[in-house]
Amino acid sequence: MKAKHQRLILALVALAALIGAGLLAASALKDEAAYFYAPGDVKAKGVEPGKAIRLGGMVVKGSLKRAADGVTMSFDVTDGKATVPATFSGIAPDLFKEGSGVVAEGSFDTKGTFIATNLLAKHDERYMPRELEGMSYNETTRELKVEK
């Protein structure tokens, strides 16, 4: 066996070991590296009241209510598996609205309501022009429909 081939095998073995180690580390990190808890995770694992966490999901349509003081709002966060009520007082980001993603920092109170101290809007992977918002395209009839 030539030295060249020895080096190639050594390099490939080292690379395979490295990738294996990386994947193992990444899968071990699965929960710790998560940026937020989804309502489903909260329901499945349980988060004790008062523990500072981030809660992420969609703001349920029709659930957003603003209090009379103008800065306090309450809304429901869902991930399709569970829904959690949340409240926030302060200035929300511009993209925060019903039906779109949110990541809230804060903690649960004893009644199971999430008290958010900070709100971040989560953007999803869809990008489209304003004209297409609320429209759906039927591929068989080739018709654009306005939903609202």
Partner 1 sequence: MPYWPCRARAAKDAALMHRFANPARFLKIARPLTGWLFWSGLVLLLAGCACGLFLTPADYLQGQTVRILYIHVPTAWLGMAGWTGIAVSALMQLVWRHPLAAVAGRAIAAPGALFTAICLATGSIWGRPTWGTWWEWDGRMTSMLVLLFLYLGYIALANASARQGAGQGGVSNVTAIFGLVGAINIPIINRSVVWWNSLHQGPSITLRGSSIDMALLWPLGLTLLGFSLWFGAIVLMRMRAILAQNKVEARMQRLARG
Strand 135-138, strand 53-59: pairing: unpaired
Strand 72-78, strand 83-89: pairing: antiparallel
127 binds partner 1 (CB under 8 A): yes
Contacts with partner 1, 99-118, as mask; x by CB under 8 A: -x--x---------------
34 binds partner 1 (CB under 8 A): yes
Look at residues 115, 54, 61, 56 and name the one whose alpha carbon lies nearest to residue 85.
115
Q: How many CB atoms lie within 10 A of CB 55?
A: 24
Distance from chain centroid for Cα 106: 15
52 binds partner 1 (CB under 8 A): no
- Using CA atoms, how far apart are residues 133 and 18, in angstroms rounded to an integer? 46
Look at residues 83, 84, 64 and name the one whose alpha carbon lies nearest to residue 74.
64
Backbone angles phi, psi at 5, to 5 degrees: -70, -35
59 binds partner 1 (CB under 8 A): no
Residue type, 62: G
Q: Which is nearer to partner 1, 104 or 108 (CB)?
A: 104
69 binds partner 1 (CB under 8 A): no
93 binds partner 1 (CB under 8 A): yes
Q: Which is nearer to partner 1, 110 or 143 (CB)?
A: 143
Q: Which stretch binds partner 1 (CB under 8 A): 29-37, 42-50, 108-116, 138-146?
A: 29-37
129 binds partner 1 (CB under 8 A): yes
7 binds partner 1 (CB under 8 A): yes
Name the site residues for partner 1 (rule: CB under 8 A): 4, 7-8, 11, 14-15, 18-19, 21-22, 26-27, 29-30, 33-38, 56, 92-96, 100, 103, 119-133
